[in-house]
Structure 1
C-alpha cells in the first residue's frame, strides 16, 4: 500500500482549520497522482493506488467535516472509490487464478473458462469507472478545491476533541476484536478490518500532531489490518469457487473442485495468522496501551 504524502509544518498547536486545508490538499494530490496510469488502459497498479488514495481522502473529509460543508464532496469521492473497488476486486481474483495455473498446462486450460466467466462483468465495471473518473475530474476535484479555502476551525490540531475521537475509534476496534475472538467468521473479520482501516487512516491524518505516539500505534496496527485484507480476499475466493463448483458448466466445475482444497488451506492459514495476531493484542494489552498513549 503506497504511503500518504507527509504534511510538513503542522504540530499539536496548529489550528484544526489550517490542518484540514493542508491535509485535504495533500490527500487530493495523492488521489490525482495515479490518474496518468488510468488513461487508455485501466492499469491494475493505477486502480489499486487510486483506490487506496481515495479511501484516505474520504477519511480526511469525514474527520474534517466540522470545518466546512464537505458531505457532498465526500459522497462524490465514495462513488469513485466504489467504482475503483469493483474493478480492483476482479483484478485480485483473476491474478490469483493466473498464479494458480502458472506452469501447469492442464490447469491453464481448466481455469480458462472460470477466468472468462469471472471477468465477464469487467467491461461493464470499467465503463462505470471511466464515467466516474470523468465526473471526478470535471466536478469533484473543482468542487473540493473550491471548498478548501473556506475551511475554518480554531480548535487545536491535537486538542481534547481529537484525542477523544481517536479513543472512541479505538474502543470500537476493541469491541470488534472481542467479537472476532468469539466468532472468527468472514463477517466478523470483515467488520474488524473496516474499523481497523478507519482507525489507521485517521491516525495517519493526525500523525503530524502526535508523531512518536502515532508511529507506535501504526506499527502494531498495520500488520493486523494487512492480514485481515488477505483473509478477506481468501473469503471472497472461497465463495467464488464454491459457487463455481455447484453452478458452473462441467469443465469449470471440475477445475473449481480441484482447486477448492488449496483455497480452503490458504484460508485456514490466513485465519491462523490472524488468530495469533489477535492473541498477541490481548496478551500484550495493546488496546490498553494505545488508549493510554492517546490520553
Structure 2
C-alpha cells in the first residue's frame, strides 16, 4: 500500500480550516497520481493505488464534515472508489487463478485447462467493469475535482486542529475496534471479519490525517495496526474466493464445475491459514493489552 503524501508544517495549534485545506489537497493529489495509468489501460498497480487513495480522500472528507459541504463530495468519491474496486477484484481473482493453474497441473495432469477456463470467465466481465470505471473517471474529472477544488478555496475554521476533541474522537474509534474484535472472537465468520477490517481501516486513515498534530503517538499507533489490517485483507480475499468457488462448483459448465471443486480444498486451506494468523494476532492484542495502551496514548 502506497503511503499518503506527508503534510508538512502542521501542528496541534494549526487552524482547523488551514489543516483541512492542506490535507484534502494532499489526498486529492494522491488520487490523481495514478490517474493516467488507470485511464491508459487500467493496469493492476494503478487501479490498486488509486483505490487506496480514494479511500483516504473519503476518510478526510468524513473527518472534516463539520466544515460543511462534504457529504455530497464524499458520495461522489465513493462512486469512483466502487468502480475501481470492481476492476481490482477481477484483477485479484484472475491473478490467483493464474497462479493456481500451475499448482493444480502439478497435482493432476490436465487440470490446468479447467482452471484457465474459470480465469477466462472471470476476465470476460472485465471489459464492462472497465467501461464503467472510465465513465466514472470522466465524471470525476469534469464534476468532482472542480467542485472539490472550489470547496478547498472556501474552507475556513479557526478552531485548533489538534484539540481535545480529536483525541476523544480517536479514543472512541479505538473502542469501536475493540468491540469489533470481541464480536469476531465470539463468531469468527466472514461478516464479523469484514466489519473489523473496515473499522481498523477507518482508524488507520484517521490516524494518518491527524498525524501532523499528534506525530509521535500516531506513528506508533499506525505501526501496531498494519499487521492486523493486512492479515484481515488476506482473510477477506480468501472469503470472497470461497463464496465464489462454492457458487462456481454448482453453476459453471461441466469443465468449470470440475475445476472449481478441485480448487475448493485449496481455498479452504488458505482461508484456515489466514484465520489462524488472525487468531494469533488478536491473542497478541489481548495479551499485550494493545487497545488499552492505544487509548492511553490518546489520553
* Residue among 212, 223, 228 paired with 2:232: 228
1:65 aligned residue: 65
Find the aligned partners of 1:146 and 1:139 in 2 and give their Cα distance: 11
Q: Which residue of 2 aligns with 1:261?
A: 265
- The separation in 2 between residues aligned to 1:275 and 1:152, in whole angstroms, is 45
Q: Where does 1:88-167 land on structure 2 (aligned, <5 Å)?
A: 88-102=88-102, 104=105, 106-167=110-171
Residue in 1 aligned with 2:36?
36
Paired with 2:14 and 2:279, the residues of 1 have a C-alpha distance of: 40
How far apart, CA to CA, are the structure 1 residues paired with 2:52 and 2:102? Answer: 28
Please give the alpha-carbon distance, in whole angstroms, between the structure 1 residues aligned to 2:219 and 2:40. 39
Answer whether contact 1:158 1:206 (CA < 8 A) is retained: yes
Residue 68 of structure 1: how far off its partner (Å) = 3.0
Once the two structures are TM-superposed, the CA of residue 40 in structure 1 deviates from its matched residue by 3.0
Partner of 2:84: 84
Determine which of 242, 251, 260 is the counterpart of 1:238.
242
Task: Answer yes or no: is the 8 Å Cα contact 1:68–1:152 preserved in 2.
Answer: no
2:9 corresponds to 1:16? no
TM-score by length of 2: 0.96
* Contact 2:98–2:116 (CA under 8 A) maintained in structure 1: no
Task: Report SS of the residue matched to 1:154.
Answer: coil
Alpha-carbon displacement from aligned partner over 1:1-26 (angstroms, at most 9, x marks no partner): 00000000001111111100000000
Contact 1:68 1:147 in 2 (8 A): no
Tell me the CA shift for residue 187 of structure 1: 0.5
Residue number in structure 2 paired with 1:185: 189
Partner of residue 273 from structure 1, selected from 271, 277, 280: 277
Contact 1:48 1:88 in 2 (8 A): yes
Deviations 1:156-181 (A, max 9, x none): 11101111111111111110000001
Q: Is the 8 A contact 2:245 2:260 kept in 1?
A: yes
Q: What are the superposed Cα offsets for residues 117-139 of structure 1, whole Å, 9 maximum, x if unpaired?
A: 22232211111100000011111
Number of residue pairs the alignment of both structures matches:
295
Deviation of 1:259 (Å)? 1.3
Contact 1:68–1:150 (Cα < 8 Å) also in 2: no
Separation in structure 2 between the aligned mates of residue 290 and residue 274 of structure 1, nearest angstrom: 19
Check whether the contact 2:16–2:156 (CA below 8 A) recurs between aligned residues.
yes
Give the root-mean-square deviation of aligned CA atoms. 1.1
Structure 1 residue runs of 5 or longer lacking an equivalent are: none
Q: Is there any run of 5+ residues in structure 2 with no aligned partner, and where? A: none
2:11 paired with 1:7? no
Q: 1:210 — aligned with what?
A: 214
**Does the aligned pair in 1 maintain the 2:39–2:134 contact within 8 Å?**
no
Residue 54 of structure 1 is matched in structure 2 by 54
